[in-house]
Amino acid sequence: MLPSLLAASLAFATPLPQRRNLAAPALARAHSLRTHPVLLSAAAAPSDDDAEELRQLRQTLLPVWLIVFVQMLGVGVTISTLPLYLLSIGASTMQLSAVLSAFAAAQMIGAPLLVRLSDRIGRSSVLLVCIAGAAAANLMTAAATGYRQVAAARVLAGLFAATTPVAQAATTDLVEAGPKSTRALGLLQAAVVLGITVGPAFASAAAGAFAAAGVARSAARARAIFALNAALALVALGVGLAQGLGARSPVSASAATATAVEDGAPAPPPAVGGARTQLVLRALAFIVGWSITLTVATYSVFASRRLGYGQREIGLLYSAAACAALLANTLALPRLVGAYGERVTCAIGLLLLGTCATGTGIVLTPPWHALLFIMRGAGVALTDTTIAALIARYSPAADKATNLGLSSSVQAGARLVAPLASGAMLDMALGGGVLGPAGANGLPFVVVGGAATLAAAVPLVALPRLEQTKGE
Question: What's the rounded mean pLDDT across residues 5-30?
Answer: 36
Per-residue pLDDT tens over the stretch 272-295: 568 899 999 999 999 999 988 877
Question: What's the rounded mean pLDDT across residues 439-451?
Answer: 80
> 325: part of which helix (H) or strand (E)?
helix 311-327
Q: Look up the CATH architecture of domain 1-42+54-269.
A: Up-down Bundle (1.20)
DSSP annotation string for 99-134 = HHHHHHHHHHHHHHHHHHHHHHH-HHHHHHHHHHHH
* Residue 223 or residue 29, greater confidence: 223
Burial class (CB in 10 A: 0-12, 13-18, 19+), 209: middle
Interhelix angle 163-174/366-393, rounded to 10 degrees, is 60
pLDDT at 196 over 70: yes
Residue ranges per structural domain of the chain? 1-42+54-269, 272-464
With b for 16 or more beta-carbon neighbours within 10 A and e for fewer, the 228-239 pattern comes to bbbebbbbbbeb
Q: What is the pTM of this model?
A: 0.75
Work out the angle at residue 22's Cα, subtended by the Cα atoms of residues 21 and 28, and round it to the nearest 5 degrees: 100
Per-residue pLDDT tens over the stretch 339-355: 999 999 999 999 999 99
Please choose, from the candidates 390, 360, 349, 385, the residue with its C-alpha nearest in 3D space to the C-alpha of residue 295: 360
Per-residue pLDDT tens over the stretch 359-394: 998 888 889 999 999 999 999 999 999 999 999 889
CATH (residue range 272-464):
1.20.1250.20
Distances (CA, A) of 356 to 160, 325, 385: 33, 14, 18
Structure-derived torsion over alpha carbons of residues 353, 355, 361, 364, reported in degrees to the nearest 10: -120
pLDDT at 48 over 70: no
Indicate the pLDDT class of residue 319, thresholds 50, 70 and 90: confident
